[in-house]
Amino acid sequence: MTADAPATATGRRTLLLAGGVAALAALAGAGVAWQRMRPQATADDAVALLFAQTLPDAGGRPVALSTFAGQPLVVNFWATWCPPCVEEMPELSALHDEWSPRGLRTIGIGIDSAEKIGQFSAKLPVSYPLLVAGLGGTEIGRRFGNQAGLLPYTVLIDRHGRVAQRILGRVDIGRLRAVVAQVVG
Strand-pair partners of 57? 131
The whole model's pTM is what?
0.80
Q: How confident is the model at residue 54 (pLDDT cuts 50, 70, 90)?
A: very high
Neighbouring CB atoms inside 10 A of 43's CB total 13
Q: How confident is the model at residue 33 (pLDDT cuts 50, 70, 90)?
A: very low
Q: How confident is the model at residue 44 (pLDDT cuts 50, 70, 90)?
A: confident
Burial class (CB in 10 A: 0-12, 13-18, 19+), 38: middle
Over residues 21-45, the mean pLDDT reads 60
Which CATH topology does 46-184 take? Glutaredoxin (3.40.30)
Q: What is the pLDDT of residues 118-136, one digit of tens each?
A: 999 999 999 999 999 999 9
Residue 56, phi then psi, degrees to nearest 5: -75, 145
Q: Are 84 and 26 in contact (CB under 8 A)?
A: no
Q: Are 177 and 95 in contact (CB under 8 A)?
A: yes
